[in-house]
Amino acid sequence: MRRLVTSLALLAALAGCSRKESRPAEAEVAPRGGTSAKADAPGAILFFSADVRGYLGPCGCSENMRGGIARAASQVKEAGKGALPVLYVDGGDSLFGSPTLKPEQVPQEERKAQALAEAMKRMGLTVRAVGELDDARGADFRRGLGLPELAPGGEKVLAAGARKVGVVSASDAAGLKQASAKARAGGAHFVVGLFHGTLEDAQRAAATPELGVDLVLATHTASEFDGEQNKLTRDAVPVVALQSKGRSLLRVDLSYGAKPGRFTAQKTAEDAEKEAASIDRRMELLDREINLPGVDPQLKSLKQQKREELVARRQALLTAPVAAAGDTDSFTLRFVPLESTLPSDPDAQAVVNTYDADVGKMNLAWAKEHGQDCPAPQKGQAAFVGSAACAECHADTFPVWEASKHTRAWKTLEEVGKQFHLNCTSCHVTGWEQPGGVCRLDKVAGRENVGCESCHGPGSLHVEDPSTDNITARPGQDVCVTCHNRENSPHFDFATYLPKILGPGHGKPLEVKRKP
């Protein structure tokens, strides 16, 4: 997304797990919308996702958040309307966000994985690799989703017009080399290595002489927030890492020459690349301005309109046909950021909508049957008393709180039907999963919204003996970023946001009313 980049063309590989004895190649997988008319096409378009981490879409807490399986589906299906065959491949680590789940998370996360799998099928998924995040509910659950899987060390050959594309899966250089050799033997002209490892590990593997792959996609990040940007290294074998959580796709345009030959990476037009980089910088600035708390609504609307125009301009650059590079086989690589103003595919969106309708009911039912109350505070430990208790002594500060979005936090969830989604609840109630707080979705009543104790801590000791020693009088940035983190509030800046929740009696001196 940061830049429009060079990329590649692909070709086919054999299928199945690697075994000591060789096996005949599996039947080739037809490209999306594959018809006889596309069988001899002079190129192909490949889309890749990876490290989706169980995200059907962004949380929606901030303006212009990227991502969403329905937006990804729209990109793939729109490309499929053209003359070239389209293949969609997933690199793995996509079904779940964590290798282990708490009992209360199981219903929601299983249902989400099912929704992701269904959406991928509707996108025409041709093959996907498997990472440990896909096995949070075990291999049997994963296989039961019915997705076309590529085992570690395996290879798959895919028809892609007049050439064949090989997709291989490995976690080290030796595995890539062995699988790519099998793919080439199976007729693959262009080979993509799905490398289960970080970008740095993939770069080291790509430096192996005669590796046999044309492109390496690093499909795994070391932590949840390591995949914040799309990355490309322009070595002899290009290495790519996608922005995590389904926020971007990788698009690879293949162009075929007069005769099959080794693919070379073709740079995008210099002017187009510079324009895309300029658009990215302008959009980043607009995002910060649009998300400023208290921004004038009319100004915000104007800036949002300008941003939408920039998205449309960049999208035109990202989807423009790639000119063939003469008589040789070549490929071009481009990142496709899934911006909030891009269209969503109706079929995939219907899957997401059904999930949203189901999961809240499932979570609430689980809480009623299996939920456990939070443990009581230990002796001498403060308990939650509610914001009303604070008002008895701090009535002058309440107009400041009531004017903030904190006091409407629960309502914002209700408006989109996500008040019982476990990914959302913790930052929209007071005392979530804390001693004496709320640990059950069916017992949220009275704890809705971001109240005084969300920032200042439980207040029972302070109510009994008002003192700055038994309350967090001035919460710092570390308190705010528990919710205003990169996931939920990517444009958060403590120094900018703090003044918006301060006022007389709440971080500022009380206004003294003088007698006339």
3-state helix/strand/coil string of 123-150: CCEEEEECCHHHHCCCHHHHHHCCCCEE
Angle between helices 297-319 and 270-290 (to 10 degrees): 160
Beta-carbon contacts of 133 under 8 Å, excluding residues fewer than 6 positions away, are 53, 54, 92, 93, 94, 95, 96, 97, 98, 99
Q: Given this model, what pLDDT does residue 496 score?
A: 87
Q: Render pLDDT for 221-234 as a digit per residue (tens, 0 to 9).
A: 988 788 889 999 98
Least Cα distance to 430 among 403, 401, 392 occurs for 401
Inform me whether the pLDDT recorded for 249 exceeds 80: yes
Beta-carbon contacts of 123 under 8 Å, excluding residues fewer than 6 positions away, are 32, 69, 72, 73, 76, 77, 88, 345, 348
- Element housing 250 (H / E): strand 248-255
Beta-carbon contacts of 57 under 8 Å, excluding residues fewer than 6 positions away, are 67, 68, 69, 70, 71, 246, 352
- Of the segments 1-5, 34-38, 137-141, 264-268, which one has the largest average pLDDT value? 137-141
d(Cα 94, Cα 288) in Å, to the nearest integer?
Answer: 29
d(Cα 236, Cα 305) in Å, to the nearest integer?
Answer: 41
Is 35 exposed, middle or buried (CB count within 10 Å of its CB: 0-12, 13-18, 19+)?
Answer: exposed
Tell how strand 264-265 and strand 248-255 pair up: unpaired
d(Cα 197, Cα 216) in Å, to the nearest integer?
Answer: 11
Q: How confident is the model at residue 36 (pLDDT cuts 50, 70, 90)?
A: low
Inform me whether the pLDDT recorded for 19 exceeds 50: no
392 alpha carbon, distance to own chain's centre: 44
Inform me whether the pLDDT recorded for 458 exceeds 90: yes
Share of the chain above pLDDT 70, in %: 90
Assign 3-state DSSP to the chain and report helix, strand, coil percentages, each to 5: 35, 15, 45
Angle between helices 106-122 and 346-370 (to 10 degrees): 170
Q: Given this model, what pLDDT does residue 488 score?
A: 85
Share of the chain above pLDDT 90, in %: 66
> Average pLDDT for residues 299-319, to the nearest whole number?
91
The Cα-based distances of 108 to 115, 337, 512 in angstroms read 11, 27, 52
Tell how strand 330-337 and strand 248-255 pair up: antiparallel
CB 182 within 8 A of CB 170: no
Q: Render pLDDT for 65-104 as a digit per residue (tens, 0 to 9).
A: 999 999 999 999 999 999 999 999 999 999 999 999 999 9
CB 218 within 8 A of CB 171: no
Q: Render pLDDT for 339-396 as a digit per residue (tens, 0 to 9).
A: 999 999 999 999 999 999 999 999 999 999 999 999 999 998 999 999 999 988 888 8
Q: Given this model, what pLDDT does residue 162 score?
A: 94
Q: Given this model, what pLDDT does residue 8 score?
A: 32
Phi, psi for 337 (deg, rounded to 5) = -65, 135
Q: Given this model, what pLDDT does residue 15 score?
A: 33
Beta-carbon contacts of 292 under 8 Å, excluding residues fewer than 6 positions away, are 496
Query: Is the model more confident about 240 or about 64?
Result: 240
Inform me whether the pLDDT recorded for 12 exceeds 80: no
Least Cα distance to 393 among 511, 505, 514 occurs for 505
CB 265 within 8 A of CB 6: yes
CB 417 within 8 A of CB 356: yes
Inform me whether the pLDDT recorded for 464 exceeds 60: yes
pTM of the prediction? 0.86
Q: Given this model, what pLDDT does residue 22 score?
A: 35
Q: Render pLDDT for 104-140 as a digit per residue (tens, 0 to 9).
A: 999 999 999 999 999 999 999 999 999 999 999 999 9
Is 266 exposed, middle or buried (CB count within 10 Å of its CB: 0-12, 13-18, 19+)?
Answer: buried
> Average pLDDT for residues 39-64, to the nearest whole number?
92
Inform me whether the pLDDT recorded for 5 exceeds 50: no
d(Cα 391, Cα 398) in Å, to the nearest integer?
Answer: 7
CB 229 within 8 A of CB 242: no
Q: Render pLDDT for 173-232 as a digit per residue (tens, 0 to 9).
A: 999 999 999 999 999 999 999 999 999 999 999 999 999 999 999 999 988 788 889 999
118, HSE (Cβ side, Cα atoms, 13 Å): 16
CB 202 within 8 A of CB 179: no
* Four-residue CA torsion sign, 256, 148, 113, 224: negative
Supply the mean pLDDT for the chain.
88
Stated length of the chain: 516
Tell me the two tokens of residue 314: 């960049």
Q: Given this model, what pLDDT does residue 277 score?
A: 82
CB 171 within 8 A of CB 197: yes
288 Ramachandran zone, left/alpha/beta (phi>0; psi -120 to 50): alpha
Q: Given this model, what pLDDT does residue 39 score?
A: 83
* Four-residue CA torsion sign, 496, 501, 504, 509: negative
Q: Given this model, what pLDDT does residue 21 score?
A: 34
Other Cβ atoms closer than 10 A to 177 = 19
Inform me whether the pLDDT recorded for 272 exceeds 80: no
